[in-house]
Amino acid sequence: MKINNFGASGVNPYKRQMNKLDQVDKLANKAADKVEISTEAKEMQHVTQIENERQAKVEELKIQVENGTYKVNPKEVARGIYQFYFKK
């Protein structure tokens, strides 16, 4: 009869597996994904310019609504609804 892993090396075969799992966990914690957008890329998007234009338009509409001078164009509303539902 032959007995393998005789001695101290075969006493706890699960310890080697646990050490491997610990190493994988350490590597996973160190390797975190990170995305950074450069200032040049942000400028290319013109996000601040669009936000400023949108804010100005909202303020203008807000003043018109408060004064009671805001008029709704029913043809534009109907066209927008039609395009939303039928021309996707």
Instruction: Please state the domain extents for the chain.
Output: 39-86
The DSSP symbol for 1 reads: -
Q: Which of 46, 45, 65, 67 is nearest to 57 (CA)?
A: 65
Whole-prediction pTM value?
0.39
Residue 57 confidence class, pLDDT cut points 50, 70, 90: very high
Q: Sign of torsion, CA 7 11 13 17? A: negative
pLDDT (mean) for 44-53? 78
User: How many CA within 13 A on the CB side of residue 81?
Assistant: 6
Give tens-digit pLDDT for 19-44.
777 777 777 666 667 888 888 887 77
Alpha-carbon distance of 7 to 53, in angstroms, equals 78
